[in-house]
Structure 1
Amino acid sequence: MFRHLILLVLFGLMLPSLVAAASVYRWTDENGVVHYGDREPSGRSAEKVSVKSGTSRSSEERASPQAQVEAMEKNEAERTRRENESAVEEARRKQREANCQAAEANLQIIRSNARIRVEENGEQRYLTPEEIEEQKEKYKQVAEENCGPAASED
C-alpha cells in the first residue's frame, strides 16, 4: 500500500514536467520567419501549438512521395489485373454454360430419335447405331466437362 502511494506521488510530481516537455510554441521573428520550439521565447509572444504524440506513422506515411506513387501504381495494376481476371473467368463461365446447353440439347435429340440423318458432301444419310453411340458418348463428355460442379473449378 505504501509503495503504491509513493508511486502515485512521484507520478503526480512528474506529470507537470511531462506536459511541459510536450508543449510546442510557434512565433514569428522580426524578419517574418516562423519558428517552432519547445520553450516559449523570452520577450516575444508565442502561440502554443497542439501536438499529437504517441502514435507511430505507418511505413506508407514515412515513405517518400516517389515510393508512395509507386505503391499506388502497384495497387492500381493489381486491381486492374483482378478485374481482367474476373472478366476472363466470366467469359469462361458463359462459354461453359453455352457448351452445357448445346450438349444437353444434342443428347436429348439423340435419345428421342431412333434414326438421325446427317448431311455429308451434299448428300444425306442416316447415322449407324455405332455412330449414334459415339455421338452420345461425345456429348455426355462435353456435358460432364461443362455442366457439373467440376466445370467451375477449371
Structure 2
Amino acid sequence: MTIQLKTMALLLAMVPAVANATVVYKWTDADGVTHFGDRQPTGTQAEQISVRSGQSNLVNSNSSAQQQLNELEQRQRAASEESLAVDAAATRQAQRKTNCDAAQQNLEIISTNPRIRITENGEQRFLTPDEVSQQKQTYENIVEQNCGAEQAP
C-alpha cells in the first residue's frame, strides 16, 4: 500500500510540470489574421508561447543572448554612422550655399563697379583692370563649384 501511495504522490507532483509544458503556437497568415494552435504550422514562422508564464519565444531561434546583443550593437553603430553621415552632408550643403551666396554677391559687385577699392597693409588702393579680371575669374570658379549640383568626391 505504501508503494501505491508513493506512486500516487509522485504522479500528483508531476501534473503541474506536465501542465506547464503545454506549448501554444502563434502565427499570422497572408491575410494578416493571427492564429493560435497546439501544432506548429508548416512553411510559416510561428512564435512559441508559454501558456503559464505568458512569455513568448520565436520558434527556430538559435541565436544566443550574446549574439542578439552583438546584432543590436551593430544596428546601433550603423544607425549612428548613418546619422553622422547625414549631419556631415547637411553641414557640407550649408557651407556650399554660404560660399555660393557670397561668391555671387562678390561677382555682382565686381561686375557692376568699374573701380574696386581694397585695403592692403593698412592702405587703400584700387584694383588694376588685370586684378579685377583675375578676381572676377576667381568668383566665377567659386560660383561654378558651389552653386551647381554637388559632385561626388
- TM-score, normalization: structure 1? 0.66
Name the SS of the counterpart of 1:31 in structure 2. Answer: helix
- Deviation, structure 1 residue 51: 2.6
CA distance in 2, matches of 1:82, 1:109: 41
For residue 100 of structure 1, what is the amino acid of its counterpart? C
Deviation at 1:31, TM superposition (A): 2.0
Any conservation in 1 of the 2:107–2:136 contact (CA below 8 Å)?
yes
Percent sequence identity is 32
2:123 maps to which residue? 123
Cα 1:67/1:133, change in 2 over 3 Å: same
Identify the structure with the greater helix proportion. 1
**Other structure's SS at 2:13 match:** coil
Query: Per the alignment, do residues 117 and 73 of structure 1 end up closer, same or farther by CA in structure 2, a change over 3 Å counting?
Result: same
Uncovered stretches (5+) of structure 2, i.e. residues with no partner: 1-9, 23-36, 47-57
Please name the residue that 1:69 is paired with: 69
- d(CA) in 1 for partners of 2:143 and 2:11? 84
**1:34 aligned residue:** 17
* Cα RMSD after superposing both structures: 2.6
The TM-score with structure 2 as length reference comes to 0.67
Query: 2:38 maps to what in 1?
Result: 50
* Letter aligned with residue 114 of structure 1: P
Query: What CA distance in whole angstroms lies between the structure 2 residues aligned with 1:60 and 1:138?
Result: 65
Q: Structure 1, residues 6-36: CA drift from partner, whole Å, max 9, x if none? A: xxxxxxxxxxxxxxxxxxxxxx942245135
Using the TM superposition, give the Cα deviation of residue 139 of structure 1 relative to its aligned residue in structure 2, in angstroms: 0.5
Corresponding residue for residue 88 of structure 1: 88
Q: Secondary structure at the match of 1:30?
A: helix
Work out the CA distance in 1 between the residues paired with 2:116 and 2:122: 16
Compute the displacement of 1:152 (Å): 5.1
Match of 2:3 in 1: none
What's the secondary structure of 2:40's corresponding residue?
coil
Cα deviation, residue 60, structure 1: 9.0
1:54-102 deviation digits (Å, cap 9, x = unpaired)? 1357999321111111101101110110011000000000000000000
Q: Secondary structure at the match of 2:12?
A: coil
* CA deviation vs aligned residue, 1:127-153 (integer Å, no higher than 9, x gap): 00000011001111111110011x254
Q: Contact (CA 8 Å) 1:93, 1:152: kept in 2 or not?
A: no
Q: How does 1:1-16 map to 2 (within 5 A)?
A: none
Q: Note closer, same or farther for the CA distance 1:110–1:76 as it changes in structure 2 (3 Å cut).
A: same
